[in-house]
Amino acid sequence: MTYLKQSHISIDTPMAPPAWALMECELLRTQERACTEFFAQYFDERGYLECIPRWGGNDGPDDAIENLVNWPVLYLLGGGDRLRAMCELGWEGHLRQYTEARTTEVDFARDGMYYREFPVMFDWVHNGEGLTTFNLHGLMDPTPRVFEKRVRRFAGFYMGDDPQAPNYDKQHKIIRSLLNGSRGPMLRKATALDWAGDPIDEVEERFNALHGERDFDEMLAHFEDYTDVVGDHPSNMVATTLGLNAFALTGEKSYRDWVLEYAEAWRQRTIDNDGIIPTNIGLDGTIGGECDGKWYGGCYGWAFTVVVPQTGALSSRNTHYLGIAGFGNALLFTGDQRYVDVWRQQIDKINSHAKVVDGKQQYPHMFGDDGWYDYSPAPYSAGALDVYYWSMERDDLRRLDTSRGWIGFLEGNAPDYPVAALQRDFGRVRGQMEKVRNDPTTPDTRLSDNPNPLNPATIGSLVELMLGGMAPRHGCPLHCRLRYFDPEQQRPGMPEGVGALIEKLEADATTVTLVNTDQVAGRRVIVQGGAYAEHRFDSVSINGEVVEVGGTSFAVELAPGAGATLKIGTQRYSSQPTFAFPWDRHE
């Protein structure tokens, strides 16, 4: 039987533990053990990564902390307290290690690769990777005073008021360079040395360089074309997550205003550029202003195809797609679908330039002096899942495969997906730990990125199935439909033994099955709308019975071995994002 009260649901209907629920609980426990072993092998008692610390785009500071990618999300899902403790120790150690680390030949990092606890000057491919854990720390625990200081300082680097970090031009609404940070923007041509870091000997003999370079000359050659960095680039929109963090913590309007101002400027530039986001904005605010008027110019631009020095092959490295982060952050604040519309229209605009090659339809992915190029059979689809997830418009499904995978499951076409996906994840964790145990590197032969491919944290399926969300990109927030809290332990995450399966996502409703796999003890869980309480709940329906909610969370009491399916009326993006836990909010 189910008992419904205002914002409180009691469930005592028996439900035999489904396979997916048992697997979710065990996968979280398994990954906590795996991460603990990984941390013990690669980090010391200070939280320093045991490696040769270097500056650079291949094996720099960002890769060091990237070894803990996905760990905060494991904790948010219900992983043990050790995960949070390792994330916090690793972050504190990382800041100290790379503030102490200095270059000898890269001029802007000679006094420390980090300054004021932030990268001195780099692009947001790498800055985002370096913040991939910190930008989720507020979801784990927003209360430490040092966290607030950092959140305010980091956001301030990009709002135009910090004289030491004049990254943002308020007049033209631009971040002034592709390379930016706590010491401000680079307003000159970048050199290969700026990107590759100090010279290093014995590359092939001593290290495993994951980008394939055999010596330092090849490291320099990797970056020889990475020169045109002056002016704004869409990847800088990842920086808006710093503004989101600051607002979610403080509620201060100035942070929200900056995120929306910057995102709106980029939305308008995309519209002005015939629906394609430009990859260079000049210091005067004009499209292509630092690249002879070419909207597609610049490092990491639409025309950025370079030669791989080891093989002579061409490699296209356009990172415009990171710009979607800024539009997603603007959506979290406003619910305004125009930020989704601009990206949807870009996808369709690019694919409208398809052509038939050798009897097959081919789609472009790059643009240069001679027009569209880099054609392939796969349509341009960067951000297609985000567009559908944020819009919930049925027409947006046409860009996705609805026959299999997570979307296939939500559409009722892949009923076996949850169990199959979780089984696959168990296999991945096992395989990762085998690699860790067989890793031949030692601290004096290890580059910062060497452990990256061995990280056992595997969150994709758990985020999809439990949260109805998408795994966060580097440096970006967590977009999800539901989030859970344990009121007994006063912490985020699903209480031990409780499984969740989100079975359907609609524009105005969320369907989830909750089950307590513990046959002896009851459990209490709080269900929240979105990672940042950005969604509100109208009501909850179970077997035809309805309770009104009218807030961003509600509590569920699960008797031993009990479970039920809930259909939750949902107003998406109707509340302002906050880090505050449900028991600390007043609604």
* Same domain, residue pair 178 and 321: yes
pLDDT band at 506 (very low <50, low <70, confident <90, very high): very high
> What's the chain's Rg over C-alpha atoms?
24
Question: pLDDT at residue 212 above 90?
Answer: no
* Same domain, residue pair 392 and 499: no
What is the SS3 string spanning 392-428? CCHHHHHHCCCCCHHHHHHCCCCCCHHHHHHHHHHHH
* Same domain, residue pair 257 and 383: yes
* Same domain, residue pair 395 and 515: no
Q: What share of the chain has pLDDT > 90, as a percent?
A: 95
CATH of the domain at 540: 2.60.40.1180
Residue 163: Cβ within 10 Å count: 6
* Same domain, residue pair 389 and 507: no
Alpha carbons 410 and 137: distance in angstroms, whole number: 29
pLDDT in tens, 325-348: 999 999 999 999 999 999 999 999
pLDDT in tens, 282-296: 999 999 999 999 999
pLDDT of residue 408: 98
* Same domain, residue pair 179 and 310: yes
DSSP-derived secondary structure for 181-202: STT----S---HHHHH-S--S-
Alpha carbons 446 and 228: distance in angstroms, whole number: 31
Residue 115 CA, distance from chain mean position: 24
Domain for residue 493, yes or no?
Answer: yes
* Same domain, residue pair 394 and 511: no
* Same domain, residue pair 176 and 287: yes
Question: pLDDT at residue 101 above 70?
Answer: yes
DSSP-derived secondary structure for 142-167: ---HHHHHHHHHHHHTTTT--TT---
Domain for residue 255, yes or no?
Answer: yes
pLDDT in tens, 424-475: 999 999 999 999 999 999 999 999 999 999 999 999 999 999 999 999 999 9
Q: Domain containing 544: what range?
A: 482-584
**Residues 6+ away with beta carbon under 8 Å from 141:** 84, 147
- The predicted model gives 212-230 an average pLDDT of 95
Alpha carbons 379 and 305: distance in angstroms, whole number: 19
What is the total count of domains within the chain?
2
Question: pLDDT at residue 304 above 70?
Answer: yes
Task: Tell me the C-alpha to C-alpha distance, in Å, between residue 521 and each of 12, 81, 188, 493, 525.
Answer: 12, 21, 64, 18, 13
pLDDT of residue 3: 39
- The predicted model gives 20-46 an average pLDDT of 98
Q: pLDDT higher for 1 or 529? A: 529
Domain for residue 317, yes or no?
Answer: yes
Domain for residue 147, yes or no?
Answer: no
Q: How many CA atoms lie within 13 A of 30 on its CB side?
A: 21
pLDDT of residue 2: 43
* Same domain, residue pair 392 and 489: no
- The predicted model gives 377-403 an average pLDDT of 97
* Same domain, residue pair 177 and 286: yes
Domain for residue 233, yes or no?
Answer: yes
Domain for residue 562, yes or no?
Answer: yes
Domain for residue 298, yes or no?
Answer: yes
Alpha carbons 546 and 541: distance in angstroms, whole number: 4
pLDDT in tens, 102-147: 999 999 999 999 999 999 999 999 999 999 999 999 999 999 999 9
Q: What share of the chain has pLDDT > 70, as a percent?
A: 99
Question: pLDDT at residue 4 above 50?
Answer: no
pLDDT in tens, 158-190: 999 999 999 999 999 999 999 999 999 999 999
Alpha carbons 70 and 135: distance in angstroms, whole number: 11
Question: pLDDT at residue 272 above 50?
Answer: yes
Domain for residue 460, yes or no?
Answer: no
Q: Is the pTM of this model over 0.75?
A: yes
Helix then strand then coil, % of the chain, to nearest 5: 40, 20, 45
* Same domain, residue pair 322 and 185: yes
Which of 141, 169, 170, 161 lies closest to 230 in space, CA to CA?
A: 169
* Same domain, residue pair 270 and 392: yes
Asked if 472 and 464 touch (Cβ cutoff 8 Å), the reply is no
By CB atoms closer than 10 A (0-12, 13-18, 19+), residue 394 is exposed
Amino acid identity for residue 29 in this structure: R
Tokens linked to 258: 């900056």
